[in-house]
Amino acid sequence: MEKQDSYSPKEPDNKNKVSKEDQEIIDQVKKLPISKKEQQDIIATMEMYSGPIPHPKILAGYQALYPDAAKKIIENGLDESRHRRQLETARQKRRGHLAWASMILLVIAWA
């Protein structure tokens, strides 16, 4: 049995999963005059978040700058989410009305 290194991070199996911008950053890190392990450590710690509410670490940073920032950011995210659901509900209702109107017109045209 072959002995394996205790540290062997894997690069993504499918490079298509990595965005162009992220790949550019990874390529720049690989060009740095540092050891391969250090390069892999840097690449492994790249983080990405999406959504209306930032990661708690980022929220804590905003909170440190402005006392009510975290509360306002969360409230804004919740309001945005509520608004998005209302828009989706309205769109579904319009689609339903359109479907009924189309069916009625078809019945009238068929008769």
> Would you state the pLDDT for residue 1?
43
> Would you state the pLDDT for residue 3?
41
pLDDT band at 15 (very low <50, low <70, confident <90, very high): very low
- Looking at the domain assignment, is residue 50 inside a domain? yes
Which range of residues forms the domain containing residue 49? 15-110
Number of domains into which the chain is organized: 1
- Looking at the domain assignment, is residue 10 inside a domain? no
> Would you state the pLDDT for residue 22?
83
- For 29-48, the pLDDT digits (tens) are 889 999 998 888 888 777 77
- Answer positive or negative: Cα dihedral of 99, 101, 106, 107: positive
CA 13 to the chain's CA centroid: 20
Residue 29, class by beta-carbon neighbours within 10 Å (0-12 exposed, 13-18 middle, 19+ buried)? middle
Query: Out of 5-9, 33-37, 49-53, 76-80, which region has the weakest mean confidence (pLDDT)?
Result: 5-9
* pLDDT for 13 beyond 60: no
- Looking at the domain assignment, is residue 7 inside a domain? no
